[in-house]
Amino acid sequence: MLLWSLAVVFFGGLLGGELFRRLRLPPLLGMLLVGIAVGPHALGLLDQSLLAISDDLRKIALIIILTRAGLSLDLADLRKVGRAAIFLCFVPATFEIIGTVILAPRLLGVSTLEAAIIGSVIAAVSPAVVVPRMLRLMDEGWGIQKGIPQMILAGASVDDVYVIVLFTSFTSLAAGGTLSPLDFVRIPTSLILGIGAGILCGLVLAAWFSRFHLRDSVKVVVFLALSFVLVTIENQCTGIIGFSGLLAVMSMGIVLGRRSPQVAARMSAKYDRLWVGAELLLFVLVGAMVDVSYVAYAGVAAVLLIAGALVFRMVGVLVSMTGTPLGGRERAFCMLAYTPKATVQAAIGGVPLAMGLACGQTVLTVAVLAILITAPFGAIAIDCTYRKWLTRTQKNTPAL
């Protein structure tokens, strides 16, 4: 039944994606809807054995796309907007959490702490939606002269680390624990140790690949295996000291790309092919996590909360852009590009309910709605605006 379920995922995802592509809509929306339809909350066509490893499969897909991002990211371009990229790592998410804390008690009747939990669930941007689109913009030359896709790509990759640490702290407090300032030590340690480990591994791989002749396919396998090790280390770091495995994977790709650009380019092409299947697994399985029956539970109030929180988030993006050379349309593009949510919400949306928290059902409902509303909205917004609002630079023309 596992093989049958994988066939359903791949065939269904391909058909759904192609249908929506012909409708001039993001293919990922078709994949999400196929996942909802075949998932355990609808037709139930997926075997439990596949659902049991769904989280690991989605993590593998994220590893593939973040590796591709690291191999393609040029730090020289990123330095042009370095300060803004750093702000994007935490300012928009902070604004969105604050907005949720203000709005949720009034709209949903929850406490301030419960509102903070909701905010920390929905505040994470989805690298699975954002990263592939920013890579496409970089490949085609849109906005690269001012480092726009590079900035969004880097910020979206760190944003999740910050939000998940806050979520863990808030849920611990709601479960009867205490919130210590030491809990927030996980944020800088996750970033520093993750980046440091990625740099070290990248240097080792660059030296290894330059000294020993290996086929590009073998290099991809080695890189993937090391990526799995780094993510496993993240799962084992549950104390005060944190570690971001996904950030380590991306940093490893950046260092390898800088030290061995030709090797990185060939590996990036291999990862492009891997992404074809990984994308189907990621979005169909994310859709399978969605229980649309929860949507009616909170209704219009939850939709208003998500819309209001997005406004706060966009303001946070605008604040992060202060002092940059970006024009009005370029800033508006960044605001829209930073709205999609999917993978983190699917991963942690059900945690408060599993913990037995009183707000668990509400948190899950808002998380589901956030996926259904913002993933297609953000993807469509990016696809419909980048050609109109960004400037294209030919790849063979050096950026100023």
- Give the per-residue SS3 of 84-111: HHHHHCCHHHHHHHHHHHHHHHHHHCCC
pLDDT level of residue 399 (50, 70, 90 thresholds): very low
Tokens in use for 154? 């880097």
Selection from 371, 344, 365, 374 nearest residue 300 by Cα: 365
Q: How far apart are CA 85 and CA 83, in angstroms?
A: 5
Q: Would the pLDDT of 115 be above 80?
A: yes
Give which of 329, 270, 345, 364 is closest to 146, Cα–Cα.
329
CA distances from 301 to 11, 38, 100, 104 (A): 36, 28, 12, 9
Is the confidence at residue 11, as pLDDT, over 70?
Answer: yes
Q: Quick one: pLDDT band at residue 66, thresholds 50, 70, 90?
A: confident
Give the 3-state secondary structure of residue 279.
helix
Band (247; pLDDT cuts 50, 70, 90)? confident
pLDDT value, residue 8: 95
pLDDT of 400 above 60: no
Average pLDDT over residues 161-190: 75
Within the chain, how many helices (H) and strands (E) appear?
20, 0
- Which pLDDT belongs to residue 397? 44
Query: Cα–Cα distance between 75 and 80 in angstroms, integer?
Result: 9
* Per-residue tokens: 333: 């593009």
Whole-angstrom Cα Rg for the chain: 20
**Residue 95 above 70 pLDDT?**
yes
pLDDT of 254 above 70: yes
Res. 81 pLDDT band, cuts 50 70 90:
low
| C-alpha span between 100 and 117 (Å, rounded) | 9
With pLDDT > 90 as the criterion, what percentage of the chain qualifies?
A: 42
> What count of other Cβ atoms lies within 10 Å of the Cβ of residue 200?
14
φ and ψ of 392, to 5 deg = -95, 135
pLDDT of amino acid 398: 41
State yes or no: pLDDT of 266 exceeds 60: yes
Checking if the pLDDT of 32 tops 90, the result is: no
What was the pLDDT predicted at 324? 86
Average pLDDT, the chain: 86
Alpha-carbon distance of 89 to 190, in angstroms, equals: 13
Sorting pLDDT into bands at 50, 70 and 90, what band is 338? very high
> Using an 8 Å Cβ cutoff, are 145 and 393 in contact?
yes
Distance CA 342, CA 183 (A): 26
Tokens standing for residue 55: 């989280």
